[in-house]
A and B are shown apart, each in its own frame.
Chain A
């Protein structure tokens, strides 16, 4: 049997990497130097953990996890002691109404709400839907305007399932939110979730006869910086894009990358022009090009991209980084983290300039989230 985890034990100023895998979750903790990491886990051994989040809006950090059992379905768990104990599986059920004809297969994203709305959280689930809680996560309801969207019957699952994996609330206009899912693409609301419109102008759907449909794109991740909420970056199933008008139109920014295919994308915590990606080769192979594990960084909002290789294997590395397995922390210089399907976790403590291996031998990594404990 796996070891019984005792929790992260992190204190204020420490950094925690939350790693979700196909067989449980792991917590890695280091002090502010981010040089030595201690591991705690597996939490929820044997379950897929596609979504993790640390909510630091309250007086104490609150850890959320969404383990999905192959047998008993998706659950949402909460810890107020950084993983030493977890809420029970029967609490806080995430369910569609029985008359909806839908059932929750997996929770893909946990998104705490704005700082001034501490009781608000959102979930992205499979089949694609947005769930909302207005009581701190104690109860959850699907957002009607999304659940009953007229396009729903035309949305089709990608290889990962029909998953709503990205939730981007607008940091300045409370009624605005953008979500992304595969396949369907980007949808946004300007009326607090009552209505949702596709927002994919300029984004290719290379796998369809019509390469530029109104919706149906396979968007893999969208990120934005709260200081510049109308600018967003998008990693597509073939294609790298930026919008400067909150998704009204998207421009190709695949300038100097070995492939515009990839899954993960992460925003720098302070610089709205700096974004990280891990390009992957082709559609079918889905490993890093030339078997070189390279993170690419732009510091000019996509006008150019540079490979970050120091400390990463540059030969024989047949690695894949999935859509939620790349993240940054809020430290200065920024920490950048990613996990691979081969079970390795890498960290950079210098904005991505150099990297070190945190751990290898984990189950396939599907989620990496990082945070500095307040």
Chain B
């Protein structure tokens, strides 16, 4: 299957300016989608995940409207969703 990863503005230097990129995903979880991202665009993956393969603390990932922190994290099934959205969280001061 193919899904669309929506990329926030500060990371678009890593996508040639595109706001979204397509990913071929063999299986059906958010983790699978990011594994595909790591293969296809490791520099972008590195901005979203740490070397420990943990989602950076102030980065949110949504499948549809659901924040994956509350729906199983990287094990969240894509369940037919076409779009995964990466957004910076609300923080700072």
A88 touches B13 (CB 8 A): yes
B46 touches A71 (CB 8 A): no
A71 touches B88 (CB 8 A): yes
A103 touches B50 (CB 8 A): yes
Chain A nearest CB, measured from B41 CB (Å): 9
A72 touches B91 (CB 8 A): no
* Chain A residues in 8 Å Cβ range of B47: 72-73, 89
A142–B15 CA distance with the chains assembled, in angstroms? 28
A1-9, A93-101, A228-236, A260-268: which lies at the interface: A93-101
Least CB separation from A93: chain B residue:
B46
Interface hits, A280-338 → B, CB 8 Å: none
Interface hits, A69-93 → B, CB 8 Å: 69-73, 88-90, 93
The size of the chain A interface, using a CB distance under 8 A, is 19
Interface hits, B54-87 → A, CB 8 Å: 54, 56, 58-59
A103–B50 CA distance with the chains assembled, in angstroms? 6
| Interface check A104, CB cutoff 8 A | yes
Least CB separation from B59: chain A residue:
A71
A90 touches B52 (CB 8 A): no
* Chain B residues in 8 Å Cβ range of A69: 10
* Chain A residues in 8 Å Cβ range of B51: 95-98, 100, 102-104
A72 touches B13 (CB 8 A): no
A97–B53 CA distance with the chains assembled, in angstroms? 11
Known: A88-B13, A90-B13, A95-B46. A72 touches B56 (CB 8 A): yes
CB < 8 Å neighbour of A93 from B10, B43, B52: B43
Besides A72-B59, A88-B13, A89-B13, 18 other A-B contacts (C-beta < 8 A): A70-B91, A70-B92, A71-B58, A72-B11, A72-B56, A72-B88, A73-B46, A73-B50, A73-B56, A89-B47, A90-B14, A90-B43, A93-B46, A96-B51, A102-B51, A103-B50, A103-B52, A103-B54
* Chain A residues in 8 Å Cβ range of B11: 72
Known: A88-B13, A93-B43. A71 touches B89 (CB 8 A): yes
A256–B53 CA distance with the chains assembled, in angstroms? 51
A70–B88 CA distance with the chains assembled, in angstroms? 9
Interface hits, B14-44 → A, CB 8 Å: 14, 43-44
A98 touches B46 (CB 8 A): no
* Chain B residues in 8 Å Cβ range of A73: 46-47, 50, 56
| A56-71 near B? 1/0 per residue, CB < 8 Å | 0000000000000111
